[in-house]
């Protein structure tokens, strides 16, 4: 079987360069599901053979390499299990959690926090494979590079793009120091010719326009520009309450506020996947008893079991809610993943607002824009926006795309 039967042209380009070029670092960056990890897993196995041979020539009995990823779960799912499935190789961890192949000691490192890096401190590595490099802390990434001090060491990475100001972009991808000997590739989702075309069309149709689309589908390092919810369409999405079904699954989001506005939003989901903003209560200068009263009224009208996903920054308010018999959950507050979850609904035409139920929602949604300095939404006019994000992101985590889920849940 020819290599071209097995790999797509973009992957072949990477393999060809791996085999023929002198490089120190190779970064495969790009769209979700675009085939980066698939080819990197092959390169990693080739790398183990190279290291094995090199170590033998040098009389080194225990050559070591680093296998880095965000967490032990992601390393297992993205790399270990895939290598076993794709190549029929068996990789079992020893009692230290290391893997062994071709007489090479493979040492896992978890780049999401400093504790996960303890295994590689002080070690000398022939090579490193970093899965999901942009999720690493910069310190962890630098530590991996420091460890790869053997002459001819290779560092192979895959990553999804992020903000153009991200350290991986500014310090490594744009680093024109020839000593780095960098090879860089951009993958788009269309480079992966093995994906089912129906799946690709559905993913494109579900990915929010603008920044999310440019990053996830086209694989570009871009920041947001203009309004955050570019797919919100007032003419289609504001609807008459008569058109909202009554047998919905209800839940709420709560953003606490006193000087700033506080906001409770009540949401309902139908069986078809539509989400409706039923009611929004937004007010300034109100004490907690006011918010408890609002929540109790919602309970009385829509059901005792409704969950309120609240801003975790106010444990005192959380406690007041719990004491009042309100089902209260501290919300996961990751802004980008939360915004992505809401924006996905809008892009798919699954998002509706009761035209008689909102107060500040419409004002906020048009003023909620990307901050060019942080690459995240601005932190102004965002009280209803936060309340919406807490509710939808947390309630829908089972339905979210795997990209968001694997990082946050």
Ligand X SMILES: Nc1ncnc2c1ncn2[C@@H]1O[C@H](COP(=O)(O)OP(=O)(O)OP(=O)(O)O)[C@@H](O)[C@H]1O
Nearest by Cα to 281 from 307, 258, 261: 261
| Residue (of 170, 99, 159, 153) closest to 134 by Cα position | 159
Closer residue to ligand X in complex, CB, 286/405: 405
Q: Is residue 10 involved in binding ligand X (CB under 6 A)? A: no
Residue 66's alpha-carbon distances to 124, 139, 140, 390, in angstroms, are: 9, 15, 12, 37
Establish if 160 lies at the interface with Mg ion (CB under 5 A): no
Minimum CB separation of residue 103 from ligand X in Å reads: 27
Considering only residues 192 through 221, tell me which ones interact with ligand X, judged by CB under 6 A: 192, 194-195
Q: Which of residues 34-73 bind Mg ion (CB under 5 A)?
A: 37
Q: Where are the beta strands (DSSP E) in 80-219?
A: 99-101, 104-110, 127-130, 154-159, 182-187
Place of tokens 């048009």: 366
With CA atoms as reference, report the closest residue to 65 among 164, 194, 196, 155.
Answer: 155
> Of the ranges 3-11, 19-27, 309-317, 338-346, which one interacts with ligand X (CB under 6 A)?
3-11
Q: What is the DSSP letter of 102?
A: T
- Strands (DSSP E) found in 201-316: 238-239, 249-255, 262-269, 275-283, 307-310
Query: What are 183's strand-pairing partners?
Result: 26
Helix (H, G, I), strand (E, B) or coil at 44: helix
Site residues (CB under 5 A) for Mg ion, limited to 9-38: 37
The residue among 10 and 314 lying less far from ligand X, judged by its C-beta, is 10
Q: What is the number of the residue whose Cβ is closest to Mg ion?
A: 37
CA distance 98 to 214: 37
Site residues (CB under 6 A) for ligand X, limited to 136-195: 158, 160, 192, 194-195
> What is the total count of residues that contact ligand X (CB under 6 A)?
17
Q: How far is the CB of 406 from ligand X (least distance, A)?
A: 8
Q: In this complex, which beta carbon is closest to ligand X, that of residue 49 or of residue 194?
A: 194
Of the pair 37, 394, the CB lying nearest Mg ion is at: 37
- In the complex, least distance from residue 120 CB atom to ligand X, rounded to whole angstroms: 23
Choose from ligand X, Mg ion, none: what does 34 bind? Cβ within 5-8 Å by kind: ligand X
Q: Does 33 bind ligand X (CB under 6 A)?
A: yes
- Please give the Cα distance from 129 to 311 (Å, whole number): 38
Q: Which of 14, 25, 32, 155 forms a contact with ligand X (CB under 6 A)?
A: 32
Size of the site for Mg ion (CB under 5 A): 1
Shortest CA distance to 358 belongs to which of 258, 225, 232, 259? 232
For residue 274, the minimal CB distance to ligand X (Å) is: 27
Stretches 31-39, 60-68, 174-182, 249-257: which one binds ligand X (CB under 6 A)? 31-39
Question: Rule CB under 6 A: which residues touch ligand X?
Answer: 6-8, 11, 32-38, 158, 160, 192, 194-195, 403
Question: Rule CB under 5 A: which residues touch Mg ion?
Answer: 37
């Amino acid at each position: 079987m020819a290599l071209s039967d097995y790999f797509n042209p973009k992957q072949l380009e990477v393999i060809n360069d791996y085999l023929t070029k002198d490089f120190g670092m190779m970064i495969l960056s790009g769209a979700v599901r675009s085939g980066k990890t698939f080819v990197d897993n092959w390169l990693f196995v080739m790398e183990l053979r190279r290291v094995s041979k090199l170590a033998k020539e040098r009389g080194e009995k225990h050559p070591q390499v680093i296998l880095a990823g965000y967490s032990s779960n992601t390393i297992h799912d993205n790399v270990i299990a895939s290598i076993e499935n794709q190549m029929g190789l068996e990789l079992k961890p020893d009692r230290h959690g290391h893997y062994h192949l071709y007489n090479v000691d493979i040492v896992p490192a978890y780049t999401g926090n400093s504790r996960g890096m303890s295994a590689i401190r002080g070690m000398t590595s022939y090579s490193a494979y970093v899965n999901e490099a942009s999720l690493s802390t910069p310190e962890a990434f630098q530590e991996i590079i420091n460890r790869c001090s053997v002459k001819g060491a290779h560092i192979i990475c895959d990553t999804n793009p992020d903000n153009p100001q991200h350290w991986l972009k500014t310090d490594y991808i744009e680093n024109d120091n020839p000593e780095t000997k960098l090879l860089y590739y951009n993958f788009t989702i269309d480079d992966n010719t093995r994906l089912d075309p129906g799946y690709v069309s559905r993913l494109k149709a579900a990915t929010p326009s603008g920044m999310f689309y440019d990053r996830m589908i086209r694989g570009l390092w871009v920041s947001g520009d203009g309004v955050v919810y570019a797919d919100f369409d007032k003419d289609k999405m504001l609807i008459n309450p008569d058109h909202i079904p009554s047998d919905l699954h209800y839940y709420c989001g709560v953003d606490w506020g006193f000087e700033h506005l506080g906001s409770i939003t009540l949401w309902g989901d139908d069986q078809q996947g539509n989400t409706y903003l039923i009611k929004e209560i937004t007010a300034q200068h109100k004490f907690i008893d006011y918010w408890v009263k609002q929540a109790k009224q919602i309970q009385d009208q829509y059901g005792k079991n409704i969950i309120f996903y609240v801003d975790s920054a106010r444990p005192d308010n959380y406690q007041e809610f719990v004491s009042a018999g309100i089902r209260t959950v501290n919300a996961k507050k990751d802004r980008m993943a939360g915004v992505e979850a809401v924006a996905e609904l809008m892009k798919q035409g699954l998002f509706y607002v009761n035209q008689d139920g909102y107060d500040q929602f419409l004002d906020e949604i048009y003023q909620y824009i990307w901050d060019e300095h942080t690459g995240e939404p601005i932190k102004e006019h965002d009280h209803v926006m936060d309340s919406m994000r807490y509710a939808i992101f947390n309630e829908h985590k089972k339905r979210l795309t795997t990209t968001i889920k694997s990082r946050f849940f």
